[in-house]
Structure 1
Amino acid sequence: MSESQYEMIIYWDKTDNIYIADVPELPGCIAHGKSKKEALENAEKAVALWLKTAKEDGIQIPEPKGRLMYA
């Protein structure tokens, strides 16, 4: 399972003037950056940390569904 297999939604937050990258399949997994690229890179790191922590804590890791999660 790879970090990049999880769907990421990137959007502009005009209040803080940053891009937000949300990973809806992993509760609480969110990152931000000054550019889309930076937000995506930070989200990849956040997913890796989320997965590592879940493994260490014995939390079930959801299989990446991507767009299928909305079907």
Structure 2
Amino acid sequence: MKFVQPYLEYYLNLQYPVTFYPDAEVGYVAEIKDLPGCFTQGETLEETMTNINEARELWIETAYEAGDNIPLPSTDDSYSGKLMLRMPKSLHRRLSETAEREGVSLNQYIVYLVSTAR
């Protein structure tokens, strides 16, 4: 039996985890570890998010056209991805204001901060 590759749209609609890193020279770097070599940069978080989505699409389209293996997104079914968090109002305000200046949602900004903490 011959393997039938799913349609390109199938792969383009998959949700891959993205990791963001601050970079003193360019602003931010983003990487999709499930797609080897798929990374980009941007001056702001918003620009970096736009760039990584374009890089993901290009990576998938190129691999698809070449007939290369396209890895599925890594998952961890034991975690829901949701977390209830209480914080002081002043911290909530500061985070919200910074997210607004960066042009991203508060949730996206907090995920960025947590993903870059060491």
TM superposition score normalised by structure 1: 0.83
Q: Distance in 2 between matches of 1:10 and 1:38?
A: 12
Residue 28 of structure 1: which of 37, 53, 76 is its match? 37
Structure 1 gap segments, 5+ residues each: none
Bigger-Rg structure (1/2): 2
Percentage identity across paired residues of the two chains? 35
Query: How many residue pairs were aligned?
Result: 65
Q: Distance in 1 between matches of 2:70 and 2:32?
A: 13
Higher RCO, 1 or 2 (CA under 8 Å, sep at least 6)? 1
Q: Distance in 2 between matches of 1:48 and 1:62?
A: 13
The answer as to 2:60 corresponding to 1:12 is no
How large is the RMSD of aligned CA atoms in angstroms? 1.3
Match of residue 61 from structure 1: 70
Structure 2 gap segments, 5+ residues each: 1-10, 77-118
TM superposition score normalised by structure 2: 0.52
Q: Which residue type is aligned with residue 33 of structure 1?
A: G
